[in-house]
Amino acid sequence: MAPSDAEDAAEDGHAAGRIAIPAAPPPPGTPWPLPPGLHPLGLGGGRDGLLRVPAGLPPDRALPLIVMLHGATGDAARTLRRLAPIADSALILLPESLGRSWDVLEGGYGPDIARIEAALARILAAWPVDPHRLAVAGFSDGASYALSLALMNGGLFTHALAFSPGFVAPMRLEGRPRLFLSHGTEDAVLSIEHCSRRLVPKLQRAGYPVIYREFAGGHTLPPEIAVTALAFLMAAREAD
């Protein structure tokens, strides 16, 4: 295939929400390429993203990976604060959308898919990631995008963690990722009645394994919900 044909095929795949599955990550015990802490992704452009390397995890074990997506007008740093209670329990990849929100809300899948794909390829080439604990997560618009990406890329993502999602918009379906959704009963931004209480039954009827948690509160991610979501991710691995 000529380079231009390959590029066209990749663009068509991105427009359909497809993320190319990278090569298998290196084995557990591979030295970590970066120390614990925050590091820029280095994707270029005005908006980039962050990689949060955990402190305190055994270096000889495979790392859970959480790809965490921000809400509308959000960024990586603010979104990471929402995961503070679990930040040292997984490798956390925090890409940033090119626009105010993710591409599906600004004209269609494509540009942000390509950047997430590029970031994942870098991470999975260098880090000993556990392929059984590879979650895409998000808050608000990021939760909607995470759910959509998981349903379209179930051969890559084993789990989706959706905190206060508004919708799901897959272009196609692939695999059966495990799903965790949460929503505040007093959410004034994305109504629980019009969002998660409609989404969850539809996902269950479609055959997806779903864990759903409601909490007393608004449009937020309480620390205890983040901890519960991490337990869901880790417990699923223990059962494999």
- The string of pLDDT tens digits covering residues 179-229 is 999 999 999 999 999 999 999 999 999 999 999 999 999 999 999 999 999
Question: What's the mean per-residue pLDDT of the chain?
Answer: 93
Q: Is residue 16 part of a domain?
A: no
Residue 186 located in a structural domain: yes
Predicted confidence (pLDDT) at residue 61 exceeds the cutoff of 70? yes
Which of 214, 209, 208, 156 lies closest to 183, judged by CA?
Answer: 214
Q: Inform me whether the pLDDT recorded for 170 exceeds 90.
A: yes
C-alpha dihedral over 27, 30, 32, 33, to 10 degrees?
Answer: -100
Whether 24 is covered by a domain: the verdict is no
Examine the pLDDT at 3 and tell me if it is beyond 90. Answer: no
pLDDT at 47: 85
What percent of the chain shows pLDDT beyond 90?
A: 88
Please say if the pLDDT value at position 134 is more than 50. yes
pLDDT of residue 78 exceeding 70, the answer is yes
Q: Does some domain include residue 153? A: yes
Whole-angstrom distance, CA of residue 161 vs CA of residue 175: 16
Domain residues for the domain of 197 are 47-239
Q: Decide if 29 is inside a domain.
A: no
Residues 6+ apart with CB under 8 A from 142: 68, 69, 70, 71, 74, 79, 102
pLDDT of 104 strictly over 60 = yes
> The domain that contains 178 carries what CATH number?
3.40.50.1820
For the entire predicted model, the pTM comes to: 0.93
Residue-wise pLDDT for 21-52, tens only, equals 988 999 999 999 999 999 999 887 778 999 99
Residue 68 scores a pLDDT above 90? yes
DSSP per-residue string spanning 172-183: S--S--EEEEEE
pLDDT band with cut points at 50, 70 and 90 for residue 240: very low
> Is residue 206 a part of any domain in this protein?
yes
Q: How confident is the model at residue 1 (pLDDT cuts 50, 70, 90)?
A: very low
User: Within a 10 A sphere around the Cβ of 20, how many other Cβ atoms?
Assistant: 15
Q: Is residue 15 part of a domain?
A: no
Domains in the chain, number? 1
Backbone angles phi, psi at 192, to 5 degrees: -60, -35
User: With 50 as the cut, is the pLDDT of residue 238 above it?
Assistant: no
**Does residue 157 form part of some domain?**
yes
